[in-house]
Chains A and B, each alone.
Chain A
């Protein structure tokens, strides 16, 4: 006897609820074939881009058109890295979102990491104006914010560069909604150098959102050049230090080093964090330098 199993049609508009009903119906009829049924369901969940979405990534949303699906709204492995003064590169990974699952693979033409020209990717629109009107390149001394554009026709996500920062504090969710039809996702910031070159300042970004400067002037080795020091005089008490040239407003934490000598000490705290046991106290050893990261 030949037996055929017909499942409900599952589309992005019907998605999880019917898929769950399919699964329960089939497991009730064929309990010994539950593993096989799981495979059927996996293959049945196809989104408009043609990618398969495992059912366990789909939350039990009853109104997929309006309910945020946080389980799909995340990225894995995808990091936008500094390549050179004018371009970035993207390693393979995924961008997930309800109804749109984009896989960033190797570049189709060269089979190397995908290269993104930052100026060519600049979004110039009403909601995203450059500091210099009409400027088609990168402005100097400016934080730029990268977004994955999931509205593009390609299988991999588009990369958009924009001087407008993201608005969602959790780091996930639609950004630049006026431009991207709710399908822009924040990917991380970079900064340009001083006027005259407007080049991308070198950095390395880890998969967990950690951004490390590669500029030597920001490391501890040039501490013998006082003019390069962020602070070179006794402060006479607590003073405010503006780090906005080195830290974007999207940052949740900052990593610092300090170099001192001969039992010298330095206290650091978040602005206004005046409570007991707050901040950090660094002290150098007698007769030697020391440094620390807080």
Chain B
């Protein structure tokens, strides 16, 4: 039985009116009225400036905004107009907005964008976050050029970020991806990225859209699928990443989107990463020092308190997940005062590996395994903040590199656990 398309009839009609395109830029939105106009403007300028001869379309997949987001995107549709003195359109730049069912969910928005790209036979596609307020027109060039000119299948971003931003990416996602899949991807869970039509079609045909990874963390799953599928990867330096005014404080959901998806991929692709494969190359184009150091006042005390509280309250859960030795080490840490508390990299790597194995073996409900990692991550985040409090950009990079090397060194421990008993 043919699979039913996610695209509505009206949307398909609009896409057919556009016809085949060279470039498609997708914009998943949900109540982003405050920032989306600026982002669309930068995307439009970038497309006209760097790809004036390409047939391009901007597709907005909206999760049911009630703040006029869709109207702002539609307003960007122009026809052979010049947007500034040095930018002239040679072709019509279409801008289409559609509202998908079952939202808001980033995975469904991406599914819509992938399906549209497949229908329009786009050669290169980019997805841009509507919250990327620091976006410059040249992001389009940096993301799309490697796909169009160098036949790269997936281009991931590298940002300049504050040294304390992206704690989960720095302490878990990057080191674990690097150790397991042998590829140094700084942002494996990208909010702005580009992909080839070939990768898009392959990804679209995957049987994930009714699963968890088809709803959240889909970008991470795309990265890992491309890695495992031996697609050609690249990274491109984009500049400063916008710091959100109100970042999602729901650490549990962030953990599900990152650790949950990564553990799930380790379970699905275990035959690939357990073999001694050569490192995967993902050259970084135009990379620069990527850490900024503006002073920030942070409340680290609460992280420490939450670690100690979580460790004592969740003891029965940890006994099911962790080995007795690791559990004893974590308990010993909880007895330390805030001043002397330090979560060593080796212990953190071992803890993460034991969690991934418990997820694989489903010793308790898999979502519960992921949730139980949250208090321990708080302890590790506390140590990261303390360690790098006065650190320079080079020292932060050095500490991060040391953490990644620890994860790589401890990988045999993961392999031993994966193949054998706990």
A and B assemble together: no
Interface residues of B (CB under 8 A from A): none
